[in-house]
Chain A
């Protein structure tokens, strides 16, 4: 039973470019969460999605960030016009009940 999958594992973008991070939940899981971990800081909730619905986006920055979880395919976290402060590890988690299981993360570096 495959775990949560994320790609790419490492992503380098220049300032002003777009970053697209993908997450495939564990088989049988319909809830997807995105978290961000800045260097030397804790994990911060960004957004919670179910298929075709954003349930809670209270942790998402108001501008440049968006997320989706389409009926078919992985969940996508999109960051437009990246800035150096966006450099972080972005983790996706999935659940079917209360327990959330994390993917390996995407490490975004903005140069």
Chain B
């Protein structure tokens, strides 16, 4: 079982729709969770992080965490073509300044 799993996609949504990206992780001791966006040929860009169960909203983005189910998701409201990218879920293994374990990413395509 992979430590962090994501559906590779592509996930196709029309412009203006809600895109829902999902991620599961295997280590119950994981404390912090991150979503990065990566455009083709570019470096990962931090979108959001979440530490506590529940929802965390930032603009058009909402991160959702359910530690009991070992599940974290990212919702993108009012999707735009510029949101088309690969979204990487990352989990901090450990309780300190530790390495991030990344999923392989979900490719999102937003059509005009």
Chain A interface residues toward B at CB < 8 A: 31, 33, 35, 41-45, 48, 55-56, 58-59, 91, 93, 95, 98-105
Contacts and interface: CB of A to CB of B under 8 A. Distances in A.
21 contacts: A35-B102, A42-B103, A42-B104, A42-B105, A44-B102, A45-B99, A45-B100, A45-B101, A55-B97, A56-B98, A58-B99, A59-B99, A95-B97, A98-B32, A98-B49, A98-B92, A99-B34, A99-B49, A102-B36, A102-B43, A104-B42
Interface of B: 32, 34, 36, 42-46, 49, 51, 88, 90, 92, 97-105
A44 B4 CA distance: 12
Contacts, number: 53
Interface of A is mostly: strand
A104 B34 contact: no
Looking at A56, A58, A59, the one whose CB has the most chain B CB atoms below 10 A away is A56
Contacts of A59: 99
Nearest to A101: B46
A38 to B, nearest CB: 11
A98 B97 contact: yes
A91 B44 contact: yes
A105 B43 contact: yes
B34 A91 contact: no
A103 B42 CA distance: 9
Contacts of B99: 33, 45, 48, 56, 58-59
Contacts of A104: 42-43
Contacts of B49: 98-99
A95 to B, nearest CB: 6
B92 A43 contact: no
A100 B98 contact: no
